[in-house]
Amino acid sequence: MSPSPFQLRCALLVLAAVTRAAVASYDDIAGYTPVSDVVEHSELDLDMQELEEGADLQTDAGFAAAYTAYSVGGNSEKTDSIRTIQGFSTGAQEKLSGEKWFDVYEAYWGSTDYADQFTSGACNGTEQFDDASVETRAEGCVKGAQYQNVWMYVIHELEDAIEDCDIGNLNANDGGPHAWDEGWGFYAGSLEGTEGTGDGVMLYALAEKRCENFATCTADDDGSDITGTAQVNSDMLELYKEGQVYLLDGDCGAAGDVKDKIIDLMGVPLVQGMLRYFYNADPEAGDGGDKAAAELWAFSAAMLPRINECDEEVATLVRANTDIASADAPMSEGYVFLKEQLESVYSCMGISCSQVGGLVIGESTTYYDGFEPCGDSDSGLSQIALGFIIAAGAVVLAVGLGCFYRSRKNKEKMKAAMESDLGGFGASKSVGTL
Ligand SMILES: *[C@@H]1O[C@H](CO)[C@@H](O)[C@H](O)[C@H]1NC(C)=O
């Protein structure tokens, strides 16, 4: 006895609910299944890798190679040109103006190409990096590109996806979700591989590194929260998947809410970076030196406009203690005080103490003095993620039970009509395999 058409339809429905995102034929990027082709986009990280290799040499030739990787590129093709990390910033006036966070950053720095001024200046040893040491320039060149150029452009892609959805144009940019896919492609990059376990150089990689310093990894493989996937990346992946489903359904409002959560979450690794160098660059605490001071400024510059949007006094204080051009930098007011100041704007920035965690000593689980995680009343995102998982599970269960029920009724009807034993395709078995 073969399954009835109804039973087949049910089975397909259940399968579709379970594997919804798997319909596309594109390879996963760090666990995310794109519904459009973003392979070239994701390969922009190969330019970033070349940039980093050049800057790490800390020689004239190395910096020149870094600047070429940044401004000429070559690994990320567009239809009839080459995509560059520099272009994310120099093209921003035209493409990003009017977007909430870009406008905030532009207003704070007083220019639309603020990211390029920082990054080019560091790679070239010009502008604010005119008299800077090679250690300082190397940090500014790499981290400026990652946390200012790329960071803002990822946000732009998410805004773009919502805009395409709002105007009902799912085919703009090869489908509204295409811009969403691009966002993840730039966030993670190709070097992370299909599962996110590779050795990347984009924002995903930063989150992975910082979770080890702040005991905010997921404890996925070994029960340890200082190794494995970052909680931020795990939450981020769920949000990207959720948003993709909303966009495919044309639910722009729900997708917009997800976008805002992603943008908030993107602040967590940067704040962790700031805190790490609050400590390391503090002459009374860490090893100090040009490298730590430069890393401090690179992270701080990436978050300052956002901090300023919450509290101008906190931003002024942070800038005075972190800007390489400031007489009070690095950290003349000490890491304990600065940490407290930064924590005061967490809730305004949409992040929580538990997301940020605390700075641990080396590879231990012991926190530095005064660097325990601060306290907050709820853990925000992880609860939302959990709620989403429970809701998704409930939908699958409900569809499955519906099939079971309908199938049994059909079976009874047919049984009565045919007076025969149906056996075969057991309805209870199909529920059991869910
Ligand atoms: C960096 O160097 C390149 C190549 O010499 C030059 O074209 C560019 O204007 C420089 N930019 C800055 C900000 O120094």
- Please work out whether the CB of residue 121 comes within 6 Å of at least one atom of ligand 1: yes
In the chain the first and final C-alpha atoms are separated, in Å, by: 22
The pLDDT score that the predictor gives to residue 227 is 87
Q: Cα–Cα distance between 207 and 234 in angstroms, integer?
A: 10
The number of C-alpha atoms within 13 Å of 64 and in the hemisphere containing its C-beta is: 3
How many angstroms separate the Cα of 425 from the Cα of each of 45, 121, 399, 429, 432?
50, 69, 18, 8, 12
Atom of ligand 1 nearest to the CA of 125: 14
The pLDDT score that the predictor gives to residue 365 is 85
Lowest-confidence region among 13-22, 54-63, 197-206:
13-22
Q: Tell me which residue of 125, 111, 121, 119 sits closest to 145, measured CA to CA.
A: 119
- Please work out whether the CB of residue 90 comes within 6 Å of at least one atom of ligand 1: no
Q: Cα–Cα distance between 405 and 419 in angstroms, integer?
A: 20
- Please work out whether the CB of residue 119 comes within 6 Å of at least one atom of ligand 1: no
- Report pLDDT digits (tens) over 79-116: 999 999 999 999 999 999 999 999 999 999 999 999 99
Q: How many helices (H) and strands (E) does the chain have?
A: 21, 0
The pLDDT score that the predictor gives to residue 223 is 79
Q: Tell me which residue of 318, 338, 334 sits closest to 326, measured CA to CA.
A: 318
For residue 234, pLDDT over 80 is answered with: yes
Mean pLDDT of all residues belonging to the chain: 86
Q: Cα–Cα distance between 324 and 294 in angstroms, integer?
A: 7
- Please work out whether the CB of residue 67 comes within 6 Å of at least one atom of ligand 1: yes
Q: Cα–Cα distance between 201 and 48 in angstroms, integer?
A: 7
Q: Cα–Cα distance between 359 and 318 in angstroms, integer?
A: 19
The pLDDT score that the predictor gives to residue 383 is 47
Give the highest mean pLDDT range of 223-232, 250-259, 380-389. 250-259
Kindly report whether the peptide bond that precedes residue 34 is cis, defined as omega within 30 degrees of 0. no
The pLDDT score that the predictor gives to residue 102 is 98
Q: What is the mean pLDDT of residues 50-60?
A: 98
- Report pLDDT digits (tens) over 149-168: 999 999 999 999 999 999 88
- Report pLDDT digits (tens) over 205-222: 999 999 999 999 997 767
The pLDDT score that the predictor gives to residue 363 is 86
Residues in the chain, how many? 434
Q: For 359, which DSSP code?
A: P
Q: For 328, which DSSP code?
A: T
For residue 422, pLDDT over 90 is answered with: no
Q: Cα–Cα distance between 349 and 305 in angstroms, integer?
A: 11
For residue 230, pLDDT over 80 is answered with: yes
Helix (H, G, I), strand (E, B) or coil at 98: coil
Cross-strand pairs, 133: none
Q: How far is the CA of 120 from the centre of ligand 1 (A)?
A: 7
Atom of ligand 1 nearest to the CA of 116: 13
- Please work out whether the CB of residue 366 comes within 6 Å of at least one atom of ligand 1: no
pTM above 0.85, yes or no: no
Lowest-confidence region among 22-31, 262-271, 295-304, 424-433:
424-433
